[in-house]
Amino acid sequence: MAVTGAKTARPAAGPAAACFRRWLMRHPGVARAGVVILLVAVWEIAARFFLDRDFISPPSTVLASLGELFRTPGVLSALWLTLYEITIGFILSAIIGAAIGLAVGLNRFAHQSFMPIILLLYGLPQITILPIFVLVFGIGVASKIAFGVSHGMFPIMIAVAAGVQKIEPVYFNSARSMGASRWHLLRYVIFPHLVPSFFTGLRLGMSGVLLGVLLAELYVSTAGIGYFTSIFTQNFDATKLIGLVSVLAAIAIALNESVRRIELHYARWRD
Amino acid sequence: MNGDDKKNASHRLSSRLVQAAFLAIVLLLWFLATTKWGVSRILLPNPVNVWHQLVDIVASGAFIPDLRVTLGELAAAFAIAMSLGVTIGYLISRSRYWIRVFEPLLSAIYAIPIILFLPLYVLLLGLGPASKIALGATISFFPIVLSTIAGFGYVDRRLLTAARSMGANNIQMFRHVLLPAALPVILAGLRLGFTVALLSVIASETIASFAGLGHHIVDLAENMDTARMFAYIAVVIAIVAFLNAVVSKIEGRARWR
Amino acid sequence: MASAQPAIRVNGVSHQFGEPGEARHVQALLDTSLDVARGELLCLIGPSGCGKSTLLGVMGGLFAPTTGTVAVAGKPVRDPMPRDLAFVFQESALFPWNTVLENVVLGMTFQGVAKAERVPRARRALEAVGLLDFAGHYPAQLSGGMRQRAALARALSLETDILLMDEPFGALDEQTRMVLGEDLSVLLSRSNKTIVFVTHSLGEAVFLADRVAVFSARPGTIKQIIPVDEPHPRKPSFMTAPKFHALRDQLYGLLHDEIRKALSESAQPRRRYDQAVSAESDGEHT
């Protein structure tokens, strides 16, 4: 923290430099991009000249060999399969999460009884039961989807239940006084109020599904992404490994960001 | 008011009963599935067997060598993450501008599942504890650095102004104002960092290791020793819960708010 | 009041935040000059955003004015001078993690008082404001009025000649304000402190001040200084005296137009000097 009170004398610099400095101050995004570029540059130089090629590869090489990576038999289908697992997992999480969340949230007694159970299950370190999932569902897409749903459905459940609980009684009272039926209440009072909580839950759910699916994929080293990460590691193929991991990271960022934007859009009418 | 209290109390009692009933039903179904309904022993072990294995594991201390490995990795990972996280977080927090530059960057990286980088660490550092420690430190770093930035960076400015007006020098400012003000936030971040480090260490042991608690579970799975595996999982869950509770307690003690 | 050298001399002070042309630019003070005599209580009063808090910050060395100078007991003011000036802020700036006693002691630690002296002086100051029984309490456990009394005790324990008070009773309810105002008047009569007191309240200004400096709307400058000729300690009965009402009406007359002007101004950011301090240190790398 700058503790000096009076303005510290700035070192004499040309007016152009001062102007640039002020512009830089007003656009932290530029500095941020600069930091990222700097880090990539360090990576490039270190990997090219100083480090062992078996263990790390410069970004330029990684980029150049992306094509080769995708042409490696099985890689592209493994990536598509992963995307498929995430999508199905996400949809299932949303449906199951919303359904249970609604059921638990609507009834005060159900909420009191079952919410603690849900929270307990949510707090479990699920990584410990990953081997069970694979044992039960096999090494194909089923276990990955199941593990993804297992991670993704809880935040949605909890968010929806909390959202229902938060609806002010005055809305129920005024609708009922006008003769609304249960279905009317559900459609015109509850659902609209649920929208922001639901989308917040979806954002957290997406993170969960991503984590679940990726953990399961990495664990199963005989098929899917896990197969390739293990092969590339054993062959010391740093270039392809970094390439594959980067593609997955990019997918994760893109998915997270999309859901985040959707959430922002729908949560607008809330405080 | 009395009627309401009675109603609340009876509600709480009945919901407890429902929870107990839920647990009982699950156990019953489990037992029936393995004994009467012929679900494969390999998929779902008999609960009685699981219980026997559990007692055996705990009594014989079979989990202790693995525990030592895991705790060692955890301690190293957390120590690294804490020292780097707090130091870098403090340095960034000293300027509003650098906070604006770095905070979004760090938050964005934190949002992706960093477990993805495990294969890279394994390539670099092998299957031993080093890769687990490195990954654990990496994942744990982010909540710590972010909470340190938040703690130091958003100290109530009035307090800083007041201290300055009374003639506090930089060291006094840090020791008597910045640090106590930032501490609750930083401690919360440290607790989160600890939890995350523990989970990531176990996860990386599960995926790619030859020792540790996570690895042992996988080992039992591969040997189809499902009864013992279930029991071991229960032990690991208990250990995780215990460690988290301890850390929460420590955080609670050290906070003034 | 016939000391030759003024306690504080403000000379031609102007202050702006930001550069002209920037969105956040505001001209807080314009060519303000003022002498604060030793041992007097001077009130600064004016409409919102007229720069009185800014002037207080400049007087206290919290930041340097864009133009002009301030001198305290002849010495130019560029940085906080904890041995000469002590602040009391509107929102209690007590550290929430310390007890009341620890807070007062800490102030002296910052100032540089000898270790052995600190606790006895703290206890004396707390006794003077009637808070000795609460020395071991935390600020969150106290009411707003008590917190401000603790802040006052902290300032008093620093044994400075000058107290700078920025709407210290502003966040309190009216009854507490009146009582604390009376206490302040009593304190003033016992010591020879010079106090500069920023307030919004006309009644408070007339009740407490030896002189009242009336500010114009932004950009702030001193419109007129009105003397209040009544010895300290002032009794509550003063508030019903005709002299009181006359002065209050005079103040209102002076302020009326300025308040209207300030209200009609568009949404320009209101600057308090702690925000000013952060504005000054924004973008400065340490």
- Higher model confidence: residue B217 or residue C190? B217
**Does C63 sit within 8 Å of A6, measured CB to CB?**
yes
Instruction: Assess A12–C contact: CB distance below 8 Å, yes or no.
Output: no
Chain C contact probe: residue of A4, A10, A25 with most C CBs at under 10 A = A4
Strand order in the sheet with C194-199: C85-88, C162-166, C194-199, C41-45, C211-215, C222-227
**Residue in A3, A109, A127 nearest the CB of B203:** A127
pLDDT at A9: 45
Query: Average pLDDT, whole number, for chain C?
Result: 85
pLDDT at B42: 74
pTM value? 0.84
pLDDT at A86: 97
Q: Cis peptide before B129, with omega less than 30 degrees from 0? A: no
Inform me whether the pLDDT recorded for B8 exceeds 80.
no
Chain A contact probe: residue of C277, C280, C282 with most A CBs at under 10 A = C280
Mean pLDDT of C118-130: 92
Interior angle at CA B38, CA B34 and CA B39, nearest 5 = 65
pLDDT at A7: 42
Instruction: Assess C78–A contact: CB distance below 8 Å, yes or no.
Output: yes
Mean pLDDT of B140-163: 94
**Does A5 sit within 8 Å of C284, measured CB to CB?**
no
What is the DSSP-derived secondary structure letter of residue C212? Answer: E
In this structure, what token pair is assigned to residue A201? Answer: 């839950």
Which residues are bridge partners to C163 per DSSP?
A: C86, C195
CA C49 to chain centre: 15
Inform me whether the pLDDT recorded for C284 exceeds 50.
no
> What residue of C is the nearest CA neighbor of A26?
C283
Inform me whether the pLDDT recorded for B75 exceeds 90.
yes
Lookup result for tokens 């607790």: B191
Burial letters A60-74, b for 16+ CB under 10 A, else e:
ebbeebeeebeebee
Model confidence at C211, in pLDDT bands (50, 70, 90)? very high
Instruction: Assess C96–B contact: CB distance below 8 Å, yes or no.
Output: yes
**Does C277 sit within 8 Å of A6, measured CB to CB?**
no
Q: How near does any CA of chain B get to the CA of A190, in Å? A: 24
Helix (H, G, I), strand (E, B) or coil at B155: coil
What digits encode the pLDDT tens for the residues C244-280? 999 999 999 888 878 777 777 654 455 555 555 555 5
For chain C, domain boundaries? 1-78+163-169+192-286, 85-159
What digits encode the pLDDT tens for the residues C20-38? 777 777 888 888 899 999 8
pLDDT at A270: 57
Chain A contact probe: residue of B7, B13, B14, B15 with most A CBs at under 10 A = B15
Do the Cβ atoms of B47 and B31 come closer than 8 Å? yes
Q: How near does any CA of chain C get to the CA of B173, in Å? A: 9
Do the Cβ atoms of B195 and B207 come closer than 8 Å? no
Strand order in the sheet with C26-36: C26-36, C8-17, C67-72, C75-76
Model confidence at C5, in pLDDT bands (50, 70, 90)? confident
ipTM associated with this complex: 0.88
Share of chain B above pLDDT 90, in %: 70
Do the Cβ atoms of C60 and C164 come closer than 8 Å? yes
Lowest mean pLDDT segment, chosen from C72-76, C169-173, C268-272: C268-272
In this structure, what token pair is assigned to residue B249? Answer: 């307690």
What digits encode the pLDDT tens for the residues A77-112? 999 999 999 999 999 999 999 999 999 988 888 888
* Residue B27 CA: distances (Å) to CA of B30, B161, C93, C231: 5, 62, 58, 86
What digits encode the pLDDT tens for the residues C216-230? 887 888 888 999 988
Question: Could you tell me where the beta strands, DSSP code E, fall in A34-184?
Answer: none
**Residue in C62, C95, C282 nearest the CB of B165:** C62
Q: How near does any CA of chain C get to the CA of A5, in Å? A: 5
Inform me whether the pLDDT recorded for C286 exceeds 60.
no
d(CA C214, CA C152): 25
Do the Cβ atoms of C129 and C153 come closer than 8 Å? yes
Q: Which fold has domain C1-78+163-169+192-286?
A: Rossmann fold (3.40.50)
Furthest-apart CA pair in chain A: how many Å?
A: 77
Please report residues of A whose CB lies closer than 8 A to that of B113.
207, 210-211, 214-215, 252
Burial class of residue C37 in the structure, from the number of CB atoms within 10 Å of its CB (0-12 exposed, 13-18 middle, 19+ buried): middle
Q: How near does any CA of chain C get to the CA of A2, in Å? A: 6
Model confidence at B257, in pLDDT bands (50, 70, 90)? low
Inform me whether the pLDDT recorded for C65 exceeds 70.
yes
**Residue in A5, A7, A25 nearest the CB of C62:** A5
Model confidence at C1, in pLDDT bands (50, 70, 90)? very low
Mean pLDDT of B134-156: 95
pLDDT at C121: 92
Between chain A and chain B, the number of residue pairs with CB atoms below 8 A apart is 135
**Regions of chain A with pLDDT less than 50:** 1-10, 271
Inform me whether the pLDDT recorded for C129 exceeds 60.
yes
**Residue in A135, A215, A242 nearest the CB of B120:** A242
Please report residues of B whose CB lies closer than 8 A to that of C97.
180-181, 256-257
Instruction: Assess B167–C contact: CB distance below 8 Å, yes or no.
Output: yes
**Helix count and strand count (H, E) for chain B:** 11, 0
pLDDT at B35: 80
d(CA C42, CA C6): 12
Instruction: Assess A47–B contact: CB distance below 8 Å, yes or no.
Output: no
**Residue in B98, B165, B172 nearest the CB of C109:** B172
Tell me the residue type at C84: D
- Higher model confidence: residue C282 or residue B109? B109
Please report residues of C whose CB lies closer than 8 A to that of B98.
285
d(CA B35, CA B33): 6
Residue A55: closest CA among B121, B134, B115: B121
Residue A215: closest CA among C109, C124, B150, B118: B118
pLDDT at A8: 44
d(CA A143, CA A130): 9
**Does C283 sit within 8 Å of A25, measured CB to CB?**
yes
For the beta carbon of residue B198, count every other beta carbon within 10 angstroms. 25
